Amino acid sequence: MEKVFALVDCNNFYASCEKLFRPDLKQVPIVVLSNNDGCIIARSKEAKALGVKMGVPMYQVQGDLQKHGIVCFSSNYALYADLSSRVMSILEEEAPQVEIYSIDEAFMDLTGIAPLESLLAFGQRVKAKVDKWTGISVGVGIAPTKTLAKLANHGAKKYPATGSVVDLMDPERQRRLLALVDVDQIWGVGRRTAKKLHERGIHTGLQLADADPKSIRSEFSVVLERTVRELNGVSCLNLELMRPVKQQIICSRSFGYKVTEAQQLREAIAKYTSRAAEKLREEQRFCRLVCVFIRTSPYIPNEPQYAQTLSTELPFPTNDTRELLDATEKLFNRIWRAGFRYAKAGVMLTDFYESRNLQQDLFREDKGKRNSASLMQVVDKINLSGLGYVYFASQGVSPQWSMKREFLSPAYTTRWQELPVVF
C-alpha cells in the first residue's frame, strides 16, 4: 500500500495567536519580538506585505514600525504552547499516527484513508475543523513522502487558489511544483548545500529530483541522497512517534537590564536550575553533570568583559531540585566576580541516566534526600495545575532581573485572572 503523509502547518503562528483574542487587530500588521523584546521573530501577513524582515533588531526598525502603525507583542510562550496543544489534539483525533514536528506543524500518516475519503476532501475538512475549533488558520500538504508533503504545504501557502490545501500524490503535479521552487526551499537542503548544488548546476527542486542518487551520496551525503529519493516518491522517512531523548537541558536567558549584584544573579541561577530540574523530571531522567555560566555583553564597546563557565560531577545522579540547587550555588560562588555588568546567565544539565539503570553505591552513607521522588512529584503537580506555584526561597520573591517584556499580552487561556471577558 502506498504511503500517504500530510503536513499541517499553522500560518504565521505566533502572530495568529496574538490576533486571536484581538479582533480589533484583524487587518492590522503585527510583529512578535524575541526575548527581551530584541528582534522580530514572527510577522502577520500584513507586516510581511510591508517588507518587515525576520530577525531584524527592533531598535533598527522602530521608526518604520511606528510609521506603518505596526503593533508589537512580546513573546507569550504560555499562550502559544496552549494553542499549539489544542491544534495538535485535533489532528490526533483525525489520524491514527501524528508526529508533532514543531510547535506549529505536524505530520499525519494518512495511509489507507484514500478508499474511505478523498485526500483533498480530508485535508479541507481538517483545515476547516482546526479553523473553527481554535481560530488558527492552517495549510495542509499531502504527498507520498514527508519531503513532498513539505513541498505541498509550501504550495498551499504560496498559491491562494489552492484554498490552503494541496494534494500532491500525482507525480506530474509533483514535477510541476518542483520546477517552480529553488533547491534551497526543499526540506533538508541547507544554505551551504544549496550553494554547492548551484555550483554544480542544480538550481531547482526538479533538477535535484532528476540527479543521480548515488553521485549525490558520494559528493554530498547519505542524507541528501535520501532527499532525492523522497522527491521521487520513495518514502525514506517514517513518522517519529517517539520524541528523541534529550542529551542535555539548558535553561538560560538574557536579562532585561544589566545585573551588577551577586544576589540578583544568584536568584537567576536558582530560577534556571529549578526550571531545568522540572524539564529533567519531564524526561524521566537523572543527571550527574551540572554546569553554570555567566557573562557580560560582548556587544557593548569600551566595557569590561567577563565570561566564565564551571561544571561539577555530582556524587550520584539526581533530579531533585534541592540537590541541583546546592550544586549550582556552589558553582556560582566560585565564578562570581564583582565589578561587571552581567547580561546573561544559565544552567546546563547533562550525563543523563534512566531510573532503572541507576547504580547505587553500597558504601555511600548519603543516599540523597529522603522521600525525594514523592516531594518532587507533589511540587510538579501543584505547579502544573495552574492553581498555585511552589518555588524555592533562593529564587527570590520579586526578581528584578527578569526579561524585558513591555508588550506582553495576557495569558488568555492559562490564567483565570486574565481570561477574556465579553460584555
Among 17-26, 183-192, 327-336, 385-394, name the one with the lowest average pLDDT: 385-394
| Mean pLDDT calculated for residue range 268-294 | 92
**313-367 per-position pLDDT tens digit:** 998 899 999 999 999 999 999 999 999 999 999 999 998 888 655 555 555 555 5
Residue 402: predicted pLDDT: 67
**156-174 per-position pLDDT tens digit:** 999 999 999 999 999 999 9
Residue 270: predicted pLDDT: 93
Residue 361: predicted pLDDT: 58
Residue 382: predicted pLDDT: 86
Q: What CATH number is associated with residue 363?
A: 3.30.1490.100
The strand pair at 165-167 and 138-143 is best described as: parallel
- What whole-number distance in Å separates Cα of residue 337 and Cα of residue 340? 7
Residue 255: predicted pLDDT: 84
Task: Quote the mean pLDDT of the chain.
Answer: 89
Element of type H or E holding 257: strand 248-259
For 380, the domain range is 248-395
Percent of the chain with pLDDT over 70: 93
- What whole-number distance in Å separates Cα of residue 137 and Cα of residue 131? 5
393 pLDDT more than 60 = yes
Residue 57 DSSP symbol: B
- Cα 161-162-166 angle, rounded to 5 deg: 160
As a whole number of Å, the end-to-end CA separation of the chain is: 54
Given a contact cutoff of 8 angstroms between Cβ atoms, the answer to whether 32 and 57 are in contact is no
Residue 43: predicted pLDDT: 94
308 pLDDT more than 80 = yes
The verdict on residue 46 lying in a domain is no
Which positions ≥6 away from 105 have C-beta within 8 Å? 7, 8, 9, 10, 153
- Tell me which residue of 16, 31, 29 sits closest to 407, measured CA to CA: 31
The verdict on residue 237 lying in a domain is no
The verdict on residue 353 lying in a domain is yes
385 pLDDT more than 80 = no
- What whole-number distance in Å separates Cα of residue 91 and Cα of residue 82? 15
- Tell me which residue of 243, 238, 202, 244 sits closest to 219, measured CA to CA: 202
The strand pair at 71-74 and 30-33 is best described as: parallel
Separation of CA 273 from chain center: 20
The verdict on residue 123 lying in a domain is no
Q: What is the CA radius of gyration of the chain?
A: 25
| Mean pLDDT calculated for residue range 99-111 | 93
The verdict on residue 2 lying in a domain is no
Total number of domains constituting the chain: 1
**120-146 per-position pLDDT tens digit:** 999 999 999 999 999 999 999 999 999
Element of type H or E holding 41: strand 40-43
In the block, cell 514572527 appears at 42
The verdict on residue 376 lying in a domain is yes
Residue 358: predicted pLDDT: 56
Residue 69 phi/psi, 5° resolution?
65, 35
| Mean pLDDT calculated for residue range 2-7 | 93
The verdict on residue 292 lying in a domain is yes
Q: What is the dihedral of CA 325, 331, 334, 340, to 10 degrees?
A: -80
Given a contact cutoff of 8 angstroms between Cβ atoms, the answer to whether 21 and 134 are in contact is no
In the block, cell 529549578 appears at 274
The verdict on residue 307 lying in a domain is yes
* C-alpha cell read off for 148: 513532498
**212-267 per-position pLDDT tens digit:** 999 999 999 999 999 999 999 999 988 886 666 678 899 988 887 889 999 999 99
Residue 124: predicted pLDDT: 96
36 pLDDT more than 90 = no
Residue 365: predicted pLDDT: 55
**56-103 per-position pLDDT tens digit:** 888 888 888 899 999 999 999 889 999 999 999 999 999 989 999 999
Separation of CA 2 from chain center: 31
50 pLDDT more than 60 = yes
